[in-house]
Structure 1
Amino acid sequence: MTTIKQPSSVHLVGSIGLDTVEDVFRTAGDVLGPYLRRVPDGEVGGRKLWISWQYPLLRASTFLRPDPSGAVRPTNRFQLLTLAEGVAPADIRFGELGYMREARASYLDFVAAREKGQLPKHVRFQVSLPTPFAVVSSVVTADALPAVEAAYEKAMIAEVAALCRHIPHKDLCIQWDICNEMIAWDGQQTGAVPHANQPHEELLERQRRLCAGIPADVEVGIHLCYGDFAGRHFVEPKDATKMVEFANELARTATHKLAYIHMPVPIERSDDAFYRPFANLKLPAGTQLYLGVVHAKDGVEGTKARIAAAQRYVSDFGVATECGMARARSEEIVRSLLSIHAAVCAANA
């Protein structure tokens, strides 16, 4: 008989919706300290809007220009970009993307919080990064996409290498936010995710390239995402089938061991049909599963109902929200969400 372990660990996906990095670390440590294995800086400021933060960088590139058609992406209203006149695909390059600089500054706050006892000694500093495909495909025309994505991917790999040079490996966790790829893998059509007709093998190969150079003693985690543009998914997963498929393939083919995989759970899904595919999940030993069962609207009781439903098919997982907590959520809601995590884990202590 399978032994069911009650959730006792919490994963914070990325954005948290508090005003400062210091407040994020202090609050997370105070409310969730015993249940945390990693902690992000909360993606304060412009990073609350996830990849939208990168549009000014792309717009400022001398290799790109606004598309002459004036076309805009309907979801974010950004004017699409294409290659500047006279620019060949091989010419495109990007320098620093900004993630490493933000992380280095936040790491100083992380160390300070740990030294003050606000964070447990064992907790790692989590840096959540978007995939190049998500950033570029959201704002670049179809004809320019391959060249711009290749250049941006090269810059992102350099960004990760710099992170690994400047932050001690024993303290570092890098999380890849896999959103546009997850929607493409799922196959449901939505105007929120352009260029979604990607072969499954190419989706996996992108991730293998991103992980290939990360040192073995740096943790790597995966957040599978269905979007959160206005506090809601772009499309809802019909059940866990596609996430389980993607997770199994990522875990099987990853060039770097995965410390964890996070999957969202819609608030209304406590039915057996959603969770049944978890019976087919095949994560290797040492790869933790986190389920996004925590929602503010139905609080502790709703969270417990989703946990109970999941436990019929998967015996060991931690809890999380289904995506970041910042977008379209007040500070009051954020603090409520943090408290729900703590209450659920405390009940199982």
Structure 2
Amino acid sequence: MPLGAHLVGSVPLADSESVFREAATRLGGRLRRIPDGETGIRTNWIQWQWPLLAQVAQLETADEEPGPWGPRLKLRDGESITASDLPDTGYRDAALESWLVFSRLKHEGVIAPATRFQVCLPTPLAVTHIRIVPAAQSAVEQAYEDKLLGELDDIVEAIPADQLAIQWDTAVEFAVLEGLLDTFVADPEPDILDRLLQLGDHVPTDVEMGYHLCYGDVEHQHFVQPADTGKLVAIVNGVAAGLDRPLNWIHMPVPRDRSDADYFAPLGDLRLHPETELYLGLVHITDGTDGARPRIAAARRFVDDFGVATECGFGRRPAETIPALLDLHAEVSRLLT
């Protein structure tokens, strides 16, 4: 299957079956993997995790002015925290429920035989950094990581390896790299790289694994506009060199107003292995194929082989816009051939 399109994660339709059917019908021959759309409570990425953290007995609201995402939490005096103190994240249960639907639709011939079920997971740093004060971030991040990886182990055990793909959603890391968040991370680039390598290597080698790199999508705006693809390329090259398993795909954002060589030039320094697919998030519903053409042309000056995607998931978009957006993925991917 040639490189075509990639769905980043959230698709705000009624349920996973609606997502699978729409994606398979409109993009089937151009997708190697299909996510379940993170429907329902999961639509706003990691925000559904914060009420779970607020239930943890070892945590309490910090005595400070609430930030843009709401009040932050801290460890209670004298308390420590481990994975056993946390409730289930819900990611395992959602994945296993959606897998049953995916498997049925595959047996019915709705989904192509070679297509894998894509499970999108947040990095523990993302979940804990926005709503935990820096003094408690390290402890809570480790507890959450242990909990999430335990649930990932259950997912891997339940779903056949040749049917499964795991995506690590990597966004808050770039807010840290850009100096936008309070953090306990002392040396951001190597520390973040170490985290991403640990998460990637936890996925068994016969399960596909990739990373969605992101600069945010709150109200369809980045938390900061990337100057170019330089920080993205640096992280990708570090991951590609450091993993002890295959890196099956990488996704990077492309802002709507960037079709200039300066933005794409660092892609010329990418050091990907042959098995790694590159997807560029240059699909924008606001300017369609006409806007995608110059972005594709600019990217091709520095990298030859890539597929297309949006910059982020669709979760913040009205459901009625989704069919046209999926069709646009197909139209833009045809521009590559």
- TM category, shorter: over 0.9
Matched, 1:287 2:281: no
Q: Deviations over 1:181-223 (max 9, x none)?
A: 12323x3x43xx4328642211111112222332110111001
* 2:300 is the alignment partner of 1:316: no
Could you tell me how far apart the structure 2 residues matched to 1:213 and 1:332 are? 37
In structure 1, the partner of 2:128 is 136
Q: Relative to structure 1, is the Cα distance of residues 166 and 95 closer, same or farther in structure 2, using a 3 angstrom cutoff? A: farther
Q: Distance in 2 between matches of 1:88 and 1:166?
A: 32
Where do 1:90-239 residues align within 5 Å? Answer: 93-185=85-177, 187=178, 189-190=179-180, 193-195=181-183, 198-199=186-187, 200-239=189-228
Q: What corresponds to 2:66 in structure 1?
A: 72
CA 256–198 in structure 1, closer or farther in 2 if over 3 Å, else same: farther
1:339 counterpart = 2:327: yes
Deviation (angstroms), 1:160:
1.1
2:76 matched residue in structure 1: 84
Q: Distance in 1 between matches of 2:30 and 2:285?
A: 19
Q: CA RMSD in A?
A: 1.7
Q: Identity across aligned pairs (percent)?
A: 41
1:4 aligned partner = none
| Per-residue deviation, 1:92 | 6.8
- What SS does the aligned partner of 1:216 have? coil
Q: Deviations over 1:98-120 (max 9, x none)?
A: 10000000001101221222211
Deviation per CA, 1:288-340: give whole Å up to 9, x if none. 1000010000011111221111111100000000000111x112332222111
Alignment match, 2:28: 33
Whole-Å separation in 2 of the counterparts to 1:271 and 1:198: 34
| Unaligned 5+ runs, structure 1 | 1-6
Letter of the 1:234 counterpart: F
Secondary structure of the structure 2 residue equivalent to 1:295: coil
1:15 equivalent in structure 2: 10
CA contact (8 A) 1:183 1:226 kept: yes
Supply the distance in 2 between the matched residues of 1:135 and 1:316 (Cα, whole angstroms): 33
Alignment of 1:276 onto 2:265: yes
Q: Contact (CA 8 Å) 2:16, 2:37: kept in 1 or not?
A: yes
- Residue 298 (structure 1) aligned with residue 287 (structure 2): yes
What do the CA deviations read for 1:143-200 (whole angstroms, capped 9, x no partner)?
1111111111111111111111111111110100111112323x3x43xx43286422
Q: TM-score, normalised by structure 2?
A: 0.95
Q: Aligned partner of 1:160: which letter?
A: L
C-alpha distance in 2, partners of 1:307/1:321?
Answer: 13
Partner of 2:54: 59
Name which of structure 1's ranges 151-160 and 36-45 shifts more when overlaid on structure 2.
Answer: 151-160
Q: What does the per-residue CA deviation read over 1:28-81, in whole Å, with 9 as the maximum and x for residues that have no partner?
A: 0010000010000000011111110101110111121112x153221x22x211
Unaligned segments of structure 2, at least 5 residues:
none
Out of 213-222 and 87-96, give the one that drifted further.
87-96
Whether the 8 Å contact between 1:184 and 1:196 is mirrored in structure 2 is no
TM-score, normalised with respect to structure 1: 0.91
Q: What is the one-letter code of the residue matched to 1:292?
A: G
Alpha-carbon distance between aligned partners in 2 of 1:83 and 1:324, rounded to the nearest angstrom: 32
Contact 2:3 2:277 in 1 (8 A): no
Query: Equivalent residue for 1:240?
Result: 229
Look up the equivalent residue of 2:150 and give its one-letter code: A
CA distance in 2, matches of 1:253, 1:99: 27
d(CA) in 2 for partners of 1:204, 1:8 = 27
Between the aligned partners of 1:208 and 1:241, the Cα distance in structure 2 is 19
Aligned length: 335
One-letter identity of the residue aligned with 2:331: A
Residues 90 and 51 (structure 1), Cα distance of their counterparts in 2 relative to 1, 3 Å cut: closer
SS at match of 1:284: coil
